[in-house]
Amino acid sequence: MPRPDIRRFAVVDLDLCDACGLCLPLCPPDAIRLGRRGLSVDPTTCTGCENCVAPCPVGALQMVDDA
């Protein structure tokens, strides 16, 4: 069971990410951006919904705790 005092957000492993953009439309708050260096996730905007994690074909997205 998730702890309400710990926020979760997605992070991108740039070594794995191929910048396919599949995750971009899956992010309800538009926390994922595609820039010159690849994808990035704004941890203050990410709601931790995990919509982006499973569809990533290379496993470049994962959830972490902001502790």
CA distance 28 to 46: 9
Q: What is the pLDDT of residues 22-63, one digit of tens each?
A: 999 999 999 999 998 889 999 999 999 999 999 999 999 999
> Is 28 contained in some domain?
yes
CA distance 18 to 9: 20
> Is 2 contained in some domain?
no
For residue 46, give its domain range: 7-66
> Is 56 contained in some domain?
yes
CA distance 38 to 17: 8
> Is 45 contained in some domain?
yes
pTM for the full predicted model: 0.84
Q: Give the CATH number, domain containing residue 34.
A: 3.30.70.20
> Is 51 contained in some domain?
yes
